[in-house]
């Protein structure tokens, strides 16, 4: 937080991302953006709109439809001293580049005995809710958070959309940035002097004392709404935005639990083997005796995300389901 109050503008998550890209491209000549339709089309989600005109084809590069090839090219460029930003259209497609990400980006520093690091940023859209069906709607950030050697960040606010990219580029190792596609149109206020933010710590988005709601990314706005409705019932929910899924900031999570003793985890991934499961496991390991009630999880139904709108909405976390889980956690055991 800045001590000096700068003027604020009303803008969107998408605009904030573009500001971050523009700043990075302006600040360092080694930075370039590469991906499918990022240039002439302006990005599938219009994030890079206008950047081709502003920075030219050398730095805003359209690629063939081959995730493995262009992510691999990004790794090569990073190895050779560049600071590439690679955009993958959705995380479903990133699976085509998983070999590059896991077997190369995440391992080369280790396998070279520290001689070669990969200062690469891979941006990808994640999440459901736009009726794009099962091949464009999944949430794999939890999978990536499984992998040592990379950092996984999930900007969920305008400040983080604006500020995480530069910090990620400065990280000597690969960083994957998951942008929940439902957030692109998120509108809000942003300080004109907003800039780089840390990518190490979780953030308390709303303080509370009765229970802790742990979430990240696209579920954050829903969780904040649920907290608001809980407040109307005199239940004070603390909302934690994890921000970085690897490494997890358990200090903030456990600090909150020590205060509230109750927890609900909201994670758009599938429940089985999920990030939510990992957080639960760590709470068991590190803070079992703080628990006053079993931890609940609100995750996606264990189905491929459906196309039909009502089914799709029913499959992913919603304000109502978060609210119900929170009430169970608080009431059943009071």
Partner 1 sequence: MYEFHMPSLGADMEAGTLVEWLIKPGDEVQRGQVVAVVETQKGAVDVEIWEAGTVDKLVVVTGRKVPVGELLALLRTVGEPAAAAPETPKTPGTPHVATAPAITAAALPRAEAAAVSAVSARLRVSPSARKLAEELGVDIASVQAAEPGAVISRADVERAAQAKTLTPVAAKPAAPDWHAQMRMAIAAAMSRSKREIPHYYLATNIDVTAVSSWLETENLKRSVTERLLPVVPFMKAVALALREVPELNGFWIDGALRSSASVHLGMAIAMRGGGLVAPAIHDADRKSLDQLMADLRDLITRVRSGRLRSSEMSDPTVTFTSLGEQGVEGVFGVIYPPQVAIVGLGKITERPWVEGGAVVVRKVATATLAADHRASDGHRGGLFLAALDRLLQEPERLR
Active site members:
67, 136
Using alpha carbons only, what angle is made at residue 141 by residues 80 and 27, rounded to the nearest 5 degrees? 40
Applying CB under 8 A, which part among 107-115, 171-179, 300-308, 326-334 lies near partner 1?
326-334
CB of 308 to partner 1, least distance (A): 39
328 touches partner 1 (CB under 8 A): no
Q: How far is the C-alpha of 31 from the C-alpha of 120, rounded, in Å?
A: 10
272 vs 288 by CB, closer to partner 1 = 288
Applying CB under 8 A, which part among 176-184, 223-231, 283-291, 310-318 lies near partner 1?
283-291
Give how far Cα 198 sits from Cα of 1, 24, 162, 203, 282, Å.
Answer: 11, 16, 12, 10, 23
234 touches partner 1 (CB under 8 A): no
Retrieve residue 263's tokens. Answer: 């927890």
Q: How far is the C-alpha of 198 from the C-alpha of 178, rounded, in Å?
A: 16
Give how far Cα 26 sits from Cα of 19, 54, 62, 256, 272, Å.
Answer: 10, 10, 19, 39, 43
CB of 292 to partner 1, least distance (A): 4
293 vs 324 by CB, closer to partner 1 = 293
209 touches partner 1 (CB under 8 A): no
Applying CB under 8 A, which part among 4-12, 200-208, 284-292, 310-318 lies near partner 1?
284-292
State the DSSP code for 304.
P
4 touches partner 1 (CB under 8 A): no
3 touches partner 1 (CB under 8 A): no
Residue from the set 292, 301, 319, 328 that interacts with partner 1 by CB under 8 A: 292
123 vs 262 by CB, closer to partner 1 = 262
**Each residue of 214-237: b (16+ CB within 10 Å) or e?**
bbbbbbbbbbbebbebbeeeebbb
Using alpha carbons only, what angle is made at residue 213 by residues 208 and 214, rounded to the nearest 5 degrees? 125
Binding-site string for partner 1 from residue 238 to residue 267, where x marks contact by CB under 8 A and - marks none = -----------------------x------
Residue from the set 98, 293, 319, 324 that interacts with partner 1 by CB under 8 A: 293
Return the number of other C-beta atoms located less than 10 Å from residue 280's C-beta: 18
CB of 286 to partner 1, least distance (A): 12
Residue from the set 3, 4, 232, 334 that interacts with partner 1 by CB under 8 A: 334
Residue from the set 206, 290, 301, 324 that interacts with partner 1 by CB under 8 A: 290
SS3 content of the chain, % helix, strand, coil (to 5): 40, 20, 40
CB of 261 to partner 1, least distance (A): 5
**Each residue of 175-209: b (16+ CB within 10 Å) or e?**
bbbbbbbbbbebebebbeebebbebeebbebbebe
- Phi, psi for residue 61 in degrees, rounded to 5: -115, 120
Applying CB under 8 A, which part among 36-44, 53-61, 82-90, 289-297 lies near partner 1?
289-297
CB of 76 to partner 1, least distance (A): 51
291 touches partner 1 (CB under 8 A): yes
Residues 119-178 that bind partner 1 (CB under 8 A): none
36 vs 210 by CB, closer to partner 1 = 210
Q: How far is the C-alpha of 296 from the C-alpha of 213, rounded, in Å?
A: 10
Sorted by sequence, the CB contacts under 8 Å of residue 203 that are 6+ apart come out as 240, 241, 243, 252
64 touches partner 1 (CB under 8 A): no
Binding site for partner 1 (CB under 8 A): 261, 288-293, 332-334
């Amino acid at each position: 937080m800045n001590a000096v109050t700068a003027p604020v503008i009303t803008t969107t998550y998408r605009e904030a991302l573009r500001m971050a890209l523009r700043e990075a491209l302006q600040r360092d000549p080694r930075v370039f953006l590469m991906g499918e339709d990022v240039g002439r089309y302006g990005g599938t989600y219009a994030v890079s709109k206008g950047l081709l005109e502003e920075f030219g084809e050398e730095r805003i590069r359209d690629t063939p439809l081959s995730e493995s090839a262009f992510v691999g090219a990004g790794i090569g460029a990073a190895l050779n001293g560049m600071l590439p930003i690679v955009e993958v259209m959705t995380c479903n497609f990133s699976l085509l580049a998983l070999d590059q990400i896991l077997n190369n980006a995440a391992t080369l520093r280790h396998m070279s005995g520290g001689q070669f690091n990969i200062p690469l940023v891979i941006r990808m859209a994640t999440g459901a809710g736009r009726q794009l069906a099962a091949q464009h709607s999944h949430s794999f950030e939890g999978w990536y958070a499984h992998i040592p050697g990379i950092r996984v960040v999930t900007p969920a606010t305008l400040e983080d959309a604006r500020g995480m990219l530069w910090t990620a580029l400065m990280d000597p190792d690969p960083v994957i940035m998951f942008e929940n596609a439902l957030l692109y149109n998120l509108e809000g206020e942003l300080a004109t002097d907003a800039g780089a933010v840390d990518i190490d710590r979780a953030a308390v988005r709303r303080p509370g004392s009765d229970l802790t709601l742990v979430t990240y990314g696209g579920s954050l706005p829903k969780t904040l709404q649920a907290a608001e409705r809980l407040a109307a019932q005199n239940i004070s929910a603390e909302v934690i935005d994890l921000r970085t899924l690897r490494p997890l900031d358990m200090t903030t999570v456990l600090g909150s639990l020590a205060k509230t003793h109750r927890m609900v985890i909201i994670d758009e991934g599938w429940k089985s083997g999920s990030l939510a499961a990992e957080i639960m496991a760590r709470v068991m390991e590190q803070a079992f005796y703080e628990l006053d009630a079993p931890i609940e999880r609100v995750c996606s139904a264990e189905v491929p995300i459906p196309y039909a709108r009502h089914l799709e909405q029913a499959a992913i976390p919603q304000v109502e389901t978060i609210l119900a889980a929170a009430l169970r956690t608080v009431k059943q055991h009071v």
